[in-house]
Amino acid sequence: MAICDKEEAAQCLHQLLIVPESYPKLHDRPRLAAAGAGVLGEVASIFRLTGPMVGAGILLYLRSLVSMIFLGRLGQLPLAGGSLALGFANITGYSVLSGLAGGMDPVCGQAFGAGRTDLLRAALRRTVVLLLAASVPISALWVAMHRVLVATGQDPDIAATAYAYILCSLPDLAVQCFLHPIRIYLRAQSVTLPLTYAAAAALLFHVPINFVLVDRLGLGIRGVALGAVCTNLNCLLFLAAYVCLSGISIWPECAGL
- Distances, alpha carbon 96 to alpha carbons 3, 50, 129, in Å: 65, 24, 14
Report the mean per-residue pLDDT for the chain.
83
Integer CA distances (angstroms), 64 to 50, 86, 149, 228, 244, in order: 22, 9, 23, 8, 28
With 50 as the cut, is the pLDDT of residue 32 above it? no
Reported as a single tens digit per residue, the pLDDT across 38-91 is: 677 777 777 777 777 788 778 888 888 999 999 999 999 999 999 999 999 999
**b/e 181-213 (16+ beta carbons within 10 angstroms → b):** bbbbbbbbeebbbbbbbbbbbbbeebeebbeeb
Tell me what pLDDT residue 118 has: 86
Residue 243: pLDDT band by 50, 70, 90 thresholds? Answer: confident
Position 10 scores a pLDDT of 58
What local confidence, expressed as pLDDT, does residue 7 receive?
62
Give the pLDDT score at 15: 55
Higher pLDDT, 251 or 158: 158
Distances (CA, A) of 179 to 182, 232, 236, 247: 5, 8, 6, 18
Q: What is the pLDDT of residue 232?
A: 94
- What is the model's pLDDT at position 37? 59
Whole-model pTM? 0.78
| Nearest-angstrom CA–CA distance, 104 and 118 | 14
More confident residue, 84 or 118: 84
Residue 223 has pLDDT above 50, yes or no: yes
Residue 191 has pLDDT above 90, yes or no: no
% of the chain surpassing 90 pLDDT: 56
Q: What is the mean pLDDT of residues 216-234?
A: 94
Q: At 29, is the pLDDT very low, low, confident or very high (cuts 50, 70, 90)?
A: very low
Count CB-CB contacts under 10 A for residue 2. 6
